[in-house]
Structure 1
Amino acid sequence: MSYTFQFGVIAQYQNEILAGIWMTIKLSVASIILGCAAGIVLASVRSMKPGIGRILVDAYVEIIRNTPFLVQLFIVYFGLPGLGLRVSAVTAALIGMTINLAAYSTEIIRAGIESIHKSQIEAGEALGFTRLQIYRHVIIMPAIAKVYPALCSQFVLMMLASSVCSAISTKELAASAAFIESQSFRSFEVYIVVTLIYLALALALRGVLAMIGLWLFGRRVARRTAIALPEVQA
């Protein structure tokens, strides 16, 4: 049995591919920023003494982490209109990705916060730091530095999971691939190209995150990030 590759056919759809790549990048960057910010806030609440806020955050994290991302997207895209909140496919994808990433980020950052020894906080109080200064310099920044590689791994996984958003007609890379495949009938070539693009995006994101880690936390954390992320792809 012989098969003739015809990648030239795929080149005719370069505009669709570029549009899909750009949408994937936009969704990934926006969800990483929003999801990480929400994760920091929720992790701080989850690290407090037991109360209604902590119970609600615990419930949110467990629900999101133990249900499929696709179901969460469907609830946002198909469920919200039933409540009178109609959103576009792109907005629904961003909301779904942010909600999902925030739950995982919360658990990762919480582990970092709980690794901070109480004596470090007491030392900050002894030096006359305000509560905000203690939270920023003694708790949250060292906590994120400790879990930064794991956090970045989750960011890469979220970028790859953006392909699921094609199920709600979001025109990202996977949706572009499905369109091209339906027009060209060259499934093998289309998905080889898309696989290579996703690989390139993951490696590029890994490099950007390593540089951010170098800027924020120094060379050691950046090196750990560069080493840890390929393991996620394996």
Structure 2
Amino acid sequence: MSYTLDFSAVYDRLPELFLACLATIGLALAGMFLATIIGVLGVIARGSRFKALRVLVIGFVELIRNTPFLVQIFFIFFALPQLGLRLNPTTTAIVALALNGGAYAIEIIRGGVDAVPKGQVEAGLALGLRRSQIFRHIILRPALRAVYPSLTSQFIMLTLTTSVCTSIAAYELTSVAQRIEAETFRSFEVYFSITLLYLVISSLMMGVFALIARLSFSYPVK
């Protein structure tokens, strides 16, 4: 059985696919931003002197890292409404991405924080720096510099994970591709094209992360 390639269905829907790419990037960036906040706050809580807080963070990390993302997003979208909390697909996608990425960010950032020599902290105390200054300049910044490649790799994975959000009808690239494929029956052309689009998105993300690294970590803290 011969199959004739015809990309006209894709060409005709390029504006729609472009908007879907922007939506995917938007979901990813929102998820990354919130995941970074969760990661930093989680590390602070993990080092707290309150045992209950430490146990809560450890439990959250283990829960997220040992369950599928699909189950997590289904729980937020389908189970939480039973308790009176109903979120739209886009909000659900962002929350799920943030929680999933945040759990991994906690462990990644914690590894960097633990690698900071304690002597540097003691030196900061000896110089009369406030605790907030020590955490920001002596602990967090060097830790982020050390784990930046691992953290950005995780965020690239988070970007690709947005494709799972099509399972709750969130507007993103895969959901649009599925609709185009259902209307045109050009499966190979559609999914080949979005494969290339995801590759472009990932490459752009890596380029942006590399630029941020050069701008943020190339100069001493003032």
Q: TM-score range by the shorter chain?
A: over 0.9
- Counterpart position of 2:45: 45
Deviation at 1:192, TM superposition (A): 0.6
Aligned residues: 219
CA–CA separation in structure 1 for the residues paired with 2:162 and 2:103:
16
- Counterpart position of 1:31: 31
CA–CA separation in structure 1 for the residues paired with 2:180 and 2:19:
12
- Counterpart position of 1:138: 138
Which residue identity does 1:95 align to in structure 2? Answer: V
- Structure 1 residue runs without a partner (length 5+): 220-234
- Counterpart position of 2:201: 201
Note the alpha carbon deviations across 1:74-104, whole angstroms, 9 max, x for none. 0111111111111100010011000100000
- Counterpart position of 2:176: 176
Give yes or no for contact 1:108–1:151 (8 Å, CA) kept in 2: yes
- Counterpart position of 1:218: 218
Deviation at 1:15, TM superposition (A): 3.0
Deviation at 1:53, TM superposition (A): 0.5
CA RMSD of aligned residues (A): 1.2
CA–CA separation in structure 2 for the residues paired with 1:49 and 1:103:
20
TM-score with structure 1 setting the length: 0.91
Give yes or no for contact 1:47–1:110 (8 Å, CA) kept in 2: no
- Counterpart position of 2:112: 112
Deviation at 1:4, TM superposition (A): 1.6
Q: State whether structure 2 residue 73 is matched by structure 1 residue 73.
A: yes
TM-score with structure 2 setting the length: 0.96
Q: State whether structure 2 residue 56 is matched by structure 1 residue 56.
A: yes
Deviation at 1:63, TM superposition (A): 0.4
Deviation at 1:48, TM superposition (A): 3.6
Give yes or no for contact 1:47–1:114 (8 Å, CA) kept in 2: no
Deviation at 1:10, TM superposition (A): 1.2
- Counterpart position of 1:10: 10
CA–CA separation in structure 2 for the residues paired with 1:159 and 1:109:
19
Deviation at 1:49, TM superposition (A): 4.3
Deviation at 1:16, TM superposition (A): 2.4
- Structure 2 residue runs without a partner (length 5+): none
CA–CA separation in structure 1 for the residues paired with 2:47 and 2:182:
49
Q: Secondary structure at the match of 2:108?
A: helix
Give yes or no for contact 1:20–1:173 (8 Å, CA) kept in 2: yes
- Counterpart position of 1:228: none
Which residue identity does 1:15 align to in structure 2? Answer: P
Q: Secondary structure at the match of 2:2?
A: coil
CA–CA separation in structure 2 for the residues paired with 1:163 and 1:202:
13
